[in-house]
Amino acid sequence: QKEVEQNSGPLSVPEGAIASLNCTYSDRGSQSFFWYRQYSGKSPELIMFIYSNGDKEDGRFTAQLNKASQYVSLLIRDSQPSDSATYLCAAGVSGYSTLTFGKGTMLLVSP
Amino acid sequence: DAGVIQSPRHEVTEMGQEVTLRCKPISGHDYLFWYRQTMMRGLELLIYFNNNVPIDDSGMPEDRFSAKMPNASFSTLKIQPSEPRDSAVYFCASSLEKGGGGTDTQYFGPGTRLTVL
């Protein structure tokens, strides 16, 4: 069974620090990986996706993928209180249309 | 594009009543997904459609749940009869095509918060 595991948190970081969110997946066939942000009472919104080993940067966000170790991470630089949310990791298998979601990690950024 | 549209945003009903949730996917998207989210179980895939055809409904909890997609721009999720344990947030999402390279990105609607008393 495909599984995506995340620490539920909360992960607490001070404003301006780097927040590091991690995710592991069980299906070696997974090729697409997504990070979604979900504010309380809102729907998940895509932050970024990654499908190649290594780093992918988008503004303050950097996604890292290591297929050999089957883990994905999201780094948030210069964390802001507005980054406080639950971050969902998801994995997709090439040729398939569904994504497997983790249960999310709650991030709290204190001013 | 307006994004994925869901209605109603909130629904409060009594046990035993029929509930119908509605979704309009992003125009041009071939895949439509229905999810349920609770604190305990996270985001669960209930059913998904490809080109209006149900592909996998193995996540539908029981026969009280049914879903239809009569055309490319409309889908419904029906619960009949509803029970208190059905209380959750129900999301609809759509995507363009199959996986690989991010093309399987799913875009979520605002959700319907269902409360069954």
pLDDT per residue as tens digits for the range A28-58: 888 889 999 999 999 999 999 998 999 999 9
Of A93, A97, A103, the CB nearest to B42: A103
Cis peptide leading into residue A10 (ω within 30°): yes
* Residue that is written with structure tokens 């509605």 in the block: B22
Contact B77, B69 (CB under 8 A): no
Q: Note whether A3 and A101 are within 8 A (CB).
A: no
Predicted local distance difference test score (pLDDT) of residue B101: 58
Q: Which residues pair with A71 in a beta bridge?
A: A24, A66
Question: If we measure between CA atoms, which residue out of A69, A62, A66 comes closest to residue A52?
Answer: A66
Q: Residue A19 is which amino acid? A: A
Task: Inform me whether the pLDDT recorded for B103 exceeds 70.
Answer: no
pLDDT tens digits for B18-70?
Answer: 999 999 999 999 999 999 999 988 999 999 999 999 999 999 988 999 999 99
Q: In this prediction, what percent of chain B has a pLDDT beyond 90? A: 84
What is the interface size between A and B, counted as CB pairs within 8 Å?
A: 66
Task: Kindly state the greatest CA–CA separation across chain B.
Answer: 44
CB-CB under 8 Å, A98 with B107:
no
Taking residues B104-117, report their average pLDDT.
94
Structure tokens at B74: 């409309």
Nearest to B42 among A46, A51, A104 (CB): A104
